[in-house]
Structure 1
Amino acid sequence: MRSKSRTILYSGLLSGTLDILAAIIIYAVILHQTTAVKILQSIASGIFKQEAYTSGSQMAFYGLLLHYFIAFVFAYIYFKIYPYFPFLRNSLLLSGVLYGMFVWIVMNLIVLPIVFPKLPQKHFDFPLLLSVLILIFCIGLPIAYITKKFYTRH
């Protein structure tokens, strides 16, 4: 990566794309629990509440934009903290796993409960483990890899 902003852009685009594709493939295609449009509308509902489910593809588009915005925020945060935590530089795998878990904690224990106060209780089961693994492999590891690549060259 040649510049800081390009590094954040690439890591945000890659992680956001991998994450939304994983959600669609697993929950809509494999498990048949929902549709791609409903997944994106659910993301949009963080801002638009119930209206997100009544406006079809427009709200799905807003959900996709919000999803990428969140991915860019997490890419930016990791890029900014990377130089200050030596353990992030020591092991790409460990830092990617830890950051994926951090993203899961922030989203599921802070952001979602604030946006949706009446969420179902979380249980340590396969769906929870699957959601953590998706964030590790689709968010944590790609962001860690691209950021490490930048800082190794600079």
Structure 2
Amino acid sequence: MSTALSMKAGPTPRPVAILVGTGLLVATVDAIFASTYWHVAAGVPATRILQGIAAGLLGKAAFQGGEATAWLGAALHYGMAMVMVLVYYLASRWMPVLARRPWVYGPLYGLVVYAVMNGVVLPLSAAGKQPHAVAWVVCSVVVHVLVVGVPSALAARAARGVSVGG
């Protein structure tokens, strides 16, 4: 006899699908945020935002590379988002509380990711010094908390099969 609790709506997604899907979602929402912000604030086209990401590897030459460097920037952006989600998942295997309490540790992870990206990755990249308008910093911190941290934590919980209560 089946009960409502034992019936499933469909097959349970595999952990890899959950993590990849979340990485794609995180990267897409973050790219939309950055492109929209800079288009509204300064009229910067989305292609230039992606070239700015490629500048981390190529320096100022990225802005002369047209669509090719924009595509490189997109690939780098999506790759970094995948790594961010994967890192949280791997950390949750070492510290299971990260998966059990995603609404606590996810936002903290978003803050850590913001700090690492802006305090370590960008300064070590070939992109050069970046201007930091206060509004951009505030919005970026919020986006890292809500768009990177929380989804990474929820994906880790789902990929590990941790129940909401446990």
TM-score by length of 2: 0.81
Alignment correspondent of 1:131: 140
1:33 to partner: Cα distance: 4.8
Query: 1:1-150 alignment to 2 at 5 Å?
Result: 2-28=13-39, 30-116=40-126, 118-119=128-129, 125-150=134-159
| Structure 2: distance between partners of 1:22 and 1:149 | 25
| Structure 1: distance between partners of 2:59 and 2:127 | 12
Aligned length: 152
1:89 to partner: Cα distance: 3.1
Shift >6 Å, 4+ stretches: none
**1:46 corresponds to which letter in structure 2?**
G
Does the 8 Å contact 2:99/2:154 carry over to 1?
Answer: no
**Deviation digits for residues 3-59 of structure 1, max 9, x if unmatched?**
23222211211111111111112221x323522111000000111112110111111
**2:154 corresponds to which letter in structure 1?**
Y
Distance 1:146 1:130, change over 3 A: same
Distance 1:39 1:122, change over 3 A: closer
Does the 8 Å contact 1:18/1:139 carry over to 2?
Answer: no
| Structure 1: distance between partners of 2:23 and 2:126 | 25
1:151 to partner: Cα distance: 1.8
TM-score by length of 1: 0.87
Provide structure 1 residue ranges, at least 5 long, that are not aligned to the other structure: none
**Deviation digits for residues 115-145 of structure 1, max 9, x if unmatched?**
148525868x332221111111221111111
> Partner of 2:13: helix, strand, or coil?
coil
In terms of fraction of residues, the more helix-rich structure is 1
| Structure 1: distance between partners of 2:116 and 2:153 | 17
CA RMSD of aligned residues (A): 2.2
Does the 8 Å contact 2:15/2:158 carry over to 1?
Answer: no
Work out which of the two has the higher radius of gyration on C-alpha atoms and give 1 or 2: 2
1:109 to partner: Cα distance: 0.4
Identity %: 27
